[in-house]
Amino acid sequence: MAEPPLSTISGWGRQSALGRELVGEDLEKLSLRASLSRGLGRSYGDSSLPADDQRTVLNTRFADRILHFDQETGAIRAESGLALSELNRLLMPRGYFTPVSPGTSFVTLGGLVAADVHGKNQHRDGNFGDHVTALKMRVGDGSIIECSPEEHPDLFFATVGGMGLTGHILEVEFALRRIPSEWVWQENRRIHDIDEFQDALEEAASEWPYSMGWIDCLARGKNMGRGILMTGDWAEPEHAPPTPPKPGFRPSLRFDFPSWALNGLTIRAFNELYYRKQWRHESSGIVSYASFTYPLDAIRSWNRMYGRRGFTQYQCVLPREAGRSSARRVLEVLTARGGASFLCVIKDFGRESCGLLSFPRPGITLALDIAVRDDTQALVDALNEQVLREGGRIYLAKDSFTRREHFEAMEGKRLDEFKAVRDRWDPERRFQSAQSVRLLGD
Amino acid sequence: MRVAFLGATKGMGRALARLMAERGDSICLLGRNPEDLERSAADLGVYGNGPAVPCVPCDLENPESFTTAIESSSEALGGLDAVVVSAGVFAPQEELEADPELVERLLRVDFTNTVLFCEAAKKALLAEAAGTLCVFSSVAGERGRKPVIIYGAAKAGLTRYLEGLDHKHNGDGLRVVTVKPGFVKTSMTAGLQPPPFAGEPEGVARQVLRAIDRGTPVVYTPSIWRLIMAVIRALPRAVMRRVGF
Ligand SMILES: Cc1cc2nc3c(=O)[nH]c(=O)nc-3n(C[C@H](O)[C@H](O)[C@H](O)COP(=O)(O)OP(=O)(O)OC[C@H]3O[C@@H](n4cnc5c(N)ncnc54)[C@H](O)[C@@H]3O)c2cc1C
Ligand SMILES: NC(=O)c1ccc[n+]([C@@H]2O[C@H](COP(=O)([O-])OP(=O)(O)OC[C@H]3O[C@@H](n4cnc5c(N)ncnc54)[C@H](OP(=O)(O)O)[C@@H]3O)[C@@H](O)[C@H]2O)c1
């Protein structure tokens, strides 16, 4: 088979790298020729990009067959390129939903495992990896093996959240969750500052299975961290509309916005409008699961809004021990540098992760979308220094600017354990990504 | 609808078979790799939310397998309403020019053996008194073009054959649907630079299924390729000698 041509491969934030991208249905065959797998490229930074232009990455999107599904229990096994959007489309009408979903449905099962994705229900249900019962993998010595929490547990727990660095995930087996309808009862509430936010999320956690908040990142002073708390739960059939939600029209951004389009002024206008839209103190109602879970999926290629230089998302978690005002201190770093974030999300985490290098831990997480400018590196450095002081860490699936020394300081012992598993399973470091070169020194 | 399907393991065939399964058609899978067929059968079983999907071995490189395969699928489904052939191979012109054996194999698979398979399918469908034969040819067969001289010749031959079948047997209840995809993003075209108007397998599948239901004799898919090919067919020889496509 011919070598795929050299091409530009990019992540969602539009950072890109030169490399070769294989694509095909037969992962068993193709994985022998690749040093990394990637799915739908929804990770923002460089985690799905090849380590260098000599490398081949395997795009799994055509390997999407469902190999087993049990209508009684919701147990499912599928090839790793299956997209969550397709799974939802097919199985929600049969009463099943993924136990954990990120804020977009355009992700693959492989990506859900490799990033050990969290959703609005992290405080209750943990991460995607907590619901995985087995993985079929191509590992460093070229063999194909099955791993699970019982079988080769070291490999399993390093692969969950391991960002593709332990081998190719070929198949994923996990447990779907029963849902009463495809509709969600959503309640929104205005929040006046960041400390109130931390309290409100904590309160909501005991009451609601799904919760998260949107923050107006431009509000300063006593308004800093004001925003909207959104909570939700599945609607029972008797409260839901009689027919399932209709798939909406999805317009697409077909061109890059010029880089001046997103400036302080437009960001301010958007955030102000969004905050005012929630003009009542509280509101509630029945909405489709898609509008609740995937508001951003309504516009395809919305990442083009940021223009050619792209953007990054800075996502960190601040441990509970850091206290009530930890989020305020991080936001202060952003505002002090005049950094503008178009979108800023806050969420509490309630559970430890099972993955060796997974991101979530009990505490509060902030995710800031930031357009790439000349000073972005300095901003991320400053944010990372603050996060280090709080004892927190960053999310690899979003990162492209963190420095290796910051990452090592954040991860400490966890990183040593992760390296030990890689030494066992892939001593020659066959599996690498642009990110692992940057952060793990591959 | 009871469908014998050759080529449903990948690409446009996979997408079309899923659509059929989802709306409740019964499918029998034909293909060359039994283990892989079983995986596709499992997938279609979930899409169909119904009984297990039978599989029958059939290799386009082995014409002896054709009649038995068609008979077995008819037996498995209790008769046939349609036969779909989306199996086929592709190779870039440069690769073919460097390898005469590959040329021979491509011509055999995409033309000779596909025609032989259709002959076997035709017999079974005519015996049912009514039925649809849906075969994937290509826009590459519309005009001799530099990047697809040999592949295009095989598809041109296939298109003519299907046209003749339609002319002869339309009155006998055999409906022939010739699918002419333009550029569609499947693993067959991975590594080629997609032109504007490249299609996705799911969109193609919806269009082809409509054509099967209506008995449309020729489908260009995505539809814009009907127009593109009309232009390309109209270009004078002097122009075709110069351009790269
Ligand atoms: C709008 C938006 C909202 C998001 N919201 C959330 C959220 O709420 N919570 C959250 O946790 N994340 C969120 N994300 C991030 C996203 O869920 C993850 O980055 C996810 O991993 C993307 O999946 P993918 O299939 O696109 O993988 P890619 O981006 O292609 O790859 C991601 C990583 O997974 C590895 N990988 C992928 N497939 C395989 C495989 N088969 N075998 C081995 N390794 C593999 C890659 O090597 C890479 O390291 C969001 C992203 C977007 C764009
Ligand atoms: N993609 C395009 O842009 C394009 C354009 C014009 C025309 N077409 C034509 O459309 C059809 C489908 O194309 P596609 O892109 O969907 O192709 P694809 O993804 O490569 O799938 C090809 C299918 O053919 C099967 N096949 C190949 N050789 C076979 C053999 N010897 N015996 C049995 N089955 C065999 C494969 O089965 P295995 O799983 O066993 O490999 C697979 O299911 C082909 O006829 C192609 O020529 C495609």
Q: What is the pLDDT of residues A261-318, one digit of tens each?
A: 667 667 777 777 777 776 567 888 899 999 899 988 887 788 888 888 888 999 999 9
Same domain, A43 and A78: no
Q: Does A265 touch chain B (CB under 8 A)?
A: no
- For residue A202, being part of any structural domain is answered with yes
Same domain, A158 and A201: no
* A264 and A142 within one domain: no
Residues A174 and A218 in one domain: no
Name the residue of B29, B58, B115, B136 to mutate for ligand 2: max ligand atoms within 8 A of Cβ.
B136
Same domain? For A109 and A122 the reply is yes
Reported pTM: 0.96
Q: What is the mean pLDDT of residues A226-234?
A: 95
- Judge contact between A393 and A349, C-beta under 8 A: no
Same domain, A346 and A271: yes
- Give the CATH number, domain containing residue A389: 3.30.70.2520
On whether both A202 and A335 belong to a single domain, the answer is: yes
pLDDT band at B137 (very low <50, low <70, confident <90, very high): very high
Q: What number does the ligand 2 atom closest to the CA of B14 have?
A: 43
Q: Give A10-60 pLDDT, tens digit per residue.
A: 999 999 999 999 999 999 999 999 999 999 999 999 999 999 989 999 999
Output the pLDDT for position A260. 64
- 3.40.50.2300, 3.40.50.2000, 3.40.1190.20, 3.40.50.720: which CATH number matches B2-242? 3.40.50.720
pLDDT in tens, A142-155: 999 999 999 999 99
Largest interatomic CA distance in chain B: 57
For chain A, what is the domain count?
Answer: 3
Show the domain range for A96: 66-179+414-440
**Do residues A123 and A16 share a domain?**
no
Ligand 2 binding pocket includes B108 (Cβ within 6 Å)? no
Which of A24, A67, A69 lies at the smallest CB-CB distance from B39? Answer: A67
Pick from B134, B138, B218, B232: which is nearest to B184 by CA? Answer: B138
B123 C-beta neighbours (distance < 10 Å), count? 12
Per residue, the 3-state secondary structure of chain B, as one string, reads CEEEEECCCCHHHHHHHHHHHHCCCEEEEEECCHHHHHHHHHHHHHHHCCCCCCEEECCCCCCCHHHHHHHHHHHHHCCCCEEEECCCCCCCHHHHHCCHHHHHHHHHHHHHHHHHHHHHHHHHHHHCCCEEEEEECCHHHCCCCHHHHHHHHHHHHHHHHHHHHHHHHHHHCEEEEEEEECCECCCCCCCCCCCCCCECHHHHHHHHHHHHHHCCCEEEECCHHHHHHHHHHHCCHHHHHHCCC
H or E element at residue A152: none
User: How many contacts (CB atoms, under 8 Å) link A and B?
Assistant: 41
Residues A266, A328 within the same domain: yes
Angle (deg, nearest 10), helices B114-127 and B65-77: 40
Q: Could you tell me if the ipTM is greater than 0.85?
A: yes
Contact A90 B47 (CB under 8 A): yes
| A76 and A195, same domain (yes or no) | no
Same domain, A149 and A259: no
Are residues A196 and A233 both part of a single domain?
A: yes
pLDDT at A166: 98
Residue of A nearest to B202 (CA): A86
What average pLDDT does the segment B82-86 reach?
98
What distance in angstroms lies between residue A237's CA and the mean position of ligand 1's atoms? 32
Give the pLDDT of residue A308.
Answer: 82
Indicate which CATH number applies to the domain containing A426: 3.30.465.10
* Residue A1 falls inside a structural domain: no
